[in-house]
Amino acid sequence: MNRHSPGKPRLPAGQTLTTKWPVLHYGEIPKVALPTFRLLVSGAVAKPVTWTWAELQALPQSRVRSDFHCVTTWSTYDNDWDGVLFRDVAAAVQPLPGARHVLMHSFDGYTTNVPLRTLMDDDVLLVWAWKGAPLTAEHGGPLRMVVPKLYAWKSAKWLSGIEFLTGDHRGFWEERGYHNRADPWLEERYSHQESGRESEDDADGNAG
Give dist(CA 184, CA 70) in Å, integer: 8
User: Residue 19 in contact with residue 194, Cβ under 8 Å?
Assistant: no
pLDDT reported for residue 206: 36
| Residues paired with 164 in a beta bridge | 43, 102
The candidate with the shortest Cα–Cα distance to 171, out of 153, 188, 190, is 153
pLDDT at 198 over 70: no
The pLDDT tens digits for 116-161 are 999 999 999 999 999 999 999 999 999 999 999 999 999 999 999 9
To the nearest whole number, what is the mean pLDDT of the chain?
91
The string of DSSP letters for 113-149 reads: EEEHHHHTSTT-EEEEEETTEEPPGGGTTT-EEE-TT
Task: Report helix, strand or coil for 88.
Answer: helix
pLDDT at 201 over 60: no
Residue ranges covered by each domain of the chain? 34-200
pLDDT at 1 over 70: no
Amino acid at 186: L
| Residues paired with 76 in a beta bridge | 68
CATH topology of domain 34-200: Sulfite Oxidase; Chain A, domain 2 (3.90.420)
The pLDDT tens digits for 3-13 are 566 788 999 99
